[in-house]
Amino acid sequence: MNILTKLTLFISLITLTSFCKTEVSKDVYICGENGAKRYHYSKNCQGLSNCKKGKFKVSLSDAKSKGLTLCGWED
Ligand SMILES: [Zn+2]
């Protein structure tokens, strides 16, 4: 394996890793700034239709770190 091949492989690995990180840090929606139990991929989700506290956009990793689980309509 020559040095150029190794370099190409290394760069593809970096690209792939950053792509995966982008996937994880996508945004989800919660009802109310605090105290929500569920997160939603869509802000028009049925699970958010009765939300009176306002819909807030947070990152998926933030929602998971707060112990929120995916809404029952979307699993
Ligand atoms: Zn939902």
pLDDT in tens, 1-11: 787 777 777 76
Nearest to 71 by CA among 34, 23, 31, 32: 31
Tally of domains in the chain: 1
Distance 16 CA to ligand 1 centre (A): 29
Tens digits of residue pLDDT in 28-74: 999 998 889 999 999 999 999 999 999 999 999 999 999 999 999 99
Does pTM top 0.95 for this prediction? no
Q: Where residue 18 falls among pLDDT bands split at 50, 70, 90?
A: low
Residue 17 lies in a domain: yes
Count of residues in the chain: 75
Distance 73 CA to ligand 1 centre (A): 5
On whether the CB atoms of residues 34 and 58 are closer than 8 A, the answer is no
Q: How far is CA 72 from CA 14, 16, 36, in A?
A: 35, 31, 14
Place of tokens 């890793």: 17
pLDDT higher than 90, residue 17: no
On whether the CB atoms of residues 12 and 34 are closer than 8 A, the answer is no
Longest dimension (CA), the chain: 61
Range of the domain at 32: 3-70
Residue 75 lies in a domain: no
Distance 67 CA to ligand 1 centre (A): 16
Average pLDDT, the chain: 86
